[in-house]
Amino acid sequence: MEPKTPEEKAALQTLEAGWENELAFLKELIALPTVSFDPWPKEPLFECAAKIEAELAALGPDELTRLRAPAVPEDAVPVLFAHWKAPAGAKTVLLYAHYDVQPPMDPADWTTPPFEPHERGGRLYARGSADDKAGIVLHLAALRAWKKSLGKLPCGVKILFEGQEEIGSANLEELLRRNAALLEADAVVIADCGNAEVGTPTLTTSLRGMNALNVEVRALRTALHSGSWGGIAPDVGLLLSRAVASLADDWGRPTFPIPGWDPRTAPARALPVPDRDRISGQIGLLPGTELPFPLESLWAHNWFEPAVAVTAMECGRVGESGNVIHPVARARIGLRVPAGCDVGAATGALEKALRAALPAWVELRAEPEDAASPWEADADHPLMRLAAETMSEAYGKETVFAGCGASIPLAKLFGELLPGTPVLLTGVEDPLSAVHAPDESLELADFFSGAKAETALFGRLSD
């Protein structure tokens, strides 16, 4: 990329010269199994936070603290905050990432152990490589490049790193609302998203909202012998399966009306058309499977339409259950909704549809989880365009503005706490990253390009 100033050029050269050290630090963080889910031990989370805190301290911030609200226990996983004041006339950027990770699932499904980083074919494989320890190091690398080359930062920088994102960022909303003044900035960068394709710089400008409904269906007081009573006693497994299946088609598209959503008002945008073989491989479709919609509308379905997903269902356990008719069946039903929809109302519609699909004499308990609202960014904001410019230069390819079918509650929260401040969703995940799955990985070339883009952005926020 072509630096705009001698100072930017020096910072980029410093970044490149020290890149192997940044990669080594990423591997050091990855080696810590920072799973935030119970019953995983919490010690690795505290150790990881301490390592990151030491790196921040070495960069000489004007303020470095662990944020805590009154309701947050003193032994809670740390939320780190750091602040470098802006030089006169320069803007301030707030940077976010998280250091906790998803459980590795079955280690036998990994090619190499999940917490041992391995490089293969230009990618780094390990849990947390893409989601989201790369985001932590990306921010630190850009800071370090400027501090080492210029001795100071060209703009104001605030850091917010947390370790409970994967379990819903417990207590973070209260903590941020109590410390909203600390967060004031000209732009927010959340490095927890990714690129539409390997090598294609991407800014995410819309997210679906989500909720999940935990349901329990009871049809009997106790289990029954399936030989003695099969065929004349209600089978709760069949009842729940049939009801849940009625909520959506085979691809997760709801069969019940979603309040606030009208397919006729979906955004009319020019969307990229994926290659059929490539997208089939990324989804992991079995041979012979055909998508039920044109490729031209695939991303519209994923980004701008609602979806139902059965994320868990149980009625006895295979290998442990005898020949019984069970009295109770349970399921967790996820729901994604696009911008313009109220998540609470949509969840209510889901529960109503489920109730209608069950016989009236079946007992139904349904409890929604904490919802995340949908979100949209202003893609025309000058700082959004500035970020796109630095990304295009760093990657050597035009930045695309894309939606995302997932949810990041903090994007909406930052928008509420900092009205008018653009929230930039960046990151170095890609469709091959297998985030939350076995063999999670990071494209190393894109990791470096992302760091170059952020380094240049700091310099251009000095005006």
Q: Which of 411, 240, 261 is nearest to 333 (CA)?
A: 240
Task: State the architecture of 6-207+374-460 in CATH terms.
Answer: 3-Layer(aba) Sandwich (3.40)
**Read out DSSP for 218-251?**
E--SS-EEHHHHBTTB--HHHHHHHHHHTTB-TT
Q: Where are the alpha helices (DSSP H) in 18-171?
A: 19-30, 43-58, 133-150
CATH number, domain 209-283+295-368: 3.30.70.360
132 DSSP 8-state letter = T
Strands 79-84 and 123-125: unpaired
What's the pTM value of the predicted model, to 2 decimals? Answer: 0.87
Q: Is the pLDDT of residue 438 over 90?
A: yes
Asked if 428 and 134 count as a contact pair (C-beta separation under 8 A), the reply is: yes
Higher pLDDT residue, 8 or 300?
8
Residue 76: strand, helix, or coil: coil
Closest CA to 12 of 452, 458, 461, 454: 452
Query: Contact at 8 Å (CB) between 129 and 117?
Result: yes
Q: Where on the phi/psi map is residue 425: left (φ > 0), alpha (ψ -120 to 50), or beta? A: beta
Helices (H), 31-181: 43-58, 133-150, 172-178
Q: What is the mean pLDDT of residues 249-273?
A: 81
Domain with CATH 3.30.70.360 in the chain: 209-283+295-368
pLDDT tens digits for 370-418? 888 999 999 999 999 999 999 999 999 999 999 899 888 899 999 999 9
Residue with tokens 């750091």: 82
pLDDT at 71: 73
Pick the residue with more confidence: 264 or 208? Answer: 208
C-alpha closest to that of 347 among 230, 443, 209, 234:
209
> Where residue 171 falls among pLDDT bands split at 50, 70, 90?
confident
In the predicted model, what is the mean pLDDT of the chain? 94
pLDDT at 214 (0 to 100): 97
List Cα–Cα distances, 286 to 193, 311, 434, in angstroms.
27, 20, 17
Which 3 state secondary structure label does DSSP give 265? Answer: helix
Preceding omega of 327 cis (within 30 degrees of 0):
no
Dihedral sign (CA 147, 181, 93, 139): positive
- pLDDT band for 74, please (50, 70, 90 cuts): confident
pLDDT in tens, 23-50: 999 999 999 999 999 999 999 999 999 9
Delimit the CATH 3.40.630.10 region(s) of the chain: 6-207+374-460
Q: What is the pLDDT of residue 269?
A: 62
pLDDT at 270 over 70: no
What pLDDT is stored for residue 361 in this prediction? 96
Cis amide prior to 109 (ω within 30 degrees): no
